[in-house]
Each structure stands twice: as C-alpha cells, then as structure tokens.
Amino acid sequence: MARNRGRQASQRQGGRSSNPFSRGMRVGSATVILAFMGLFVWTIVRKQSKPAEGLADHPSLPPIESQSKGSYADVDLSAAVNQLFSSVDPSLPENQYFPRCAKERVLWITTEKKAGKLSIILLKNTDNTNLYFEDLMASGIVEGKPMIVIAGPRFLDFLVEGGRTLPPFTQRQRNDFALGLVHETVHLEKENTANPAILQERLAEELRAWRKVDLNVVRELRRLNQPMNPRLIEADDALRSCGDRAECESLREILFPTETTR
C-alpha cells in the first residue's frame, strides 16, 4: 500500500440537478485488516471508556460484506453509517443552519464518491492500525486515491453515547458527524503536504485542520447554540484565547497528548 498523504485529489465540482443523497451513500466495508499507518484522524472525546454494543438494522439498505463477528451483524453498522450520512444532507430543511463551508464539503464528498474519485471505508476491526480508541474518522491517499475511513468500534460508541442508533438521529449526532467529515476534507486538501509518520508534521497539520474547521464551521454553530462534542468547544475556546492565530499553543496542548500515542 502506498504511503498515505492527506491531499485532495481533485477540486470541488458543481452539484448535479438530481439530489445526490436520494439513495443514500453506500459505504464500502473493509474485508481485510488494513494497517492504516499514516492516516490523519479526527478524535472526539467520549463519555465512556468502555466499548458499547448494539445497533438495529435498516431493511432498505442492501447487506455489506462482513469483516468481523460479534453480537450484532456488521450490516447494522454499515446501514447506520449510510443513514447518518443521509441525515446530514445539506439540502434537507432541517440542515439549513449548516454553515456554507459544511454544506459545500459534505456535498463534495458525495459528488466525488459518486464519480469514483473518493472511497469511504467502514473499518470494523481497527486492530493493527494507528487509530486511537477515540478516533472516529481518518483520511489519506491510498494507492493514489483519496479515502475517508470510519472506525467501526468508535462509531458504534458514538451512536450509543448519543442515544440514537436509528434515525432520527439527534442534532448533536448530526452536527458531530458532519464536523468529522468536514475535518477530513481539510486533510485531503492540496495544502496538506505533511508526512503523517512524523509527529511534528502531523501535529502541525492537525492544528491547521482544527483551526480551519473551527473558524469556518464550529464557531458559527456555537453562535447558533448548536450542540456538539465538548472537545470542539474546548478547541474553539483555545483558539479564541490565542486570537485565532495559526500558531496556538493552547490548541497544541489539547491535541499533543493524543498525537503522541500514534
């Protein structure tokens, strides 16, 4: 597998006249254990440190091949990812409060995936990877193609902690999931030239991504009193204390402990 670097492979394209969310986003399911060394990740704090289990199926979505066995079928988890992605469709009336940046980037993901230019993988077994137990998403370039990875175990906890494993998802679940997607699109930008295998470069890129998402999305959501993960609020407060400067030691202190565990 080629070295993964978080660069955007193509520019945003205009949306089509038909609704790209009408059939939901089909998320691929990894069928082998992949050593995702070097992916840039998005970490959010959890309420529990112990993994939770439990999802219900959605009969309208076709089965996705299972990678691991457990008390609940993997197709449930795959369906939940598709359902949650569909729920953050920026064209839905209930999502009109999304900042423009969030709308554009979620739509970009859908457009690129439909065009075969981007892959989204639900990784159901995160053993033997560099994913931290609180990492919900990761992204990078795999064999020349942009990829967004959703960590199955953390996604399961994310749903259970949020109180909904089936639609309708809570507003905070939708906000946090959309923010994670936006964060990963920042890592896929051409501006990202960092080598994720080098701590200082990886940390600098995370600082860039967190700052960009904060200034363009998080801060506007806070102004609207929208619910979101406490880590996002903590990061926004840190940036404010730094005057929104790119070099923010307060934000670095928040991100550094997690980055050193990879």
Say how many domains are in the chain: 1
The answer to whether residue 61 scores a pLDDT higher than 70 is no
| DSSP assigned state of 95 | G
3-class state of residue 261 by DSSP: coil
Beta bridge partners of 120: 148
Q: How far is CA 220 from the centre of its chain?
A: 19
Domain with 137, as residue range(s), is 1-262
Statement: the pTM of the whole predicted model exceeds 0.85: no
Task: Determine what percent of the chain is predicted with pLDDT higher than 70.
Answer: 72
CA distance 253 to 262: 16
Q: What is the pLDDT of residue 28?
A: 55
Q: Is the pLDDT of residue 14 over 70?
A: no
Q: Write down the pLDDT at residue 132.
A: 82
pLDDT at 44 (0 to 100): 61
Structure tokens at 8: 């955007």
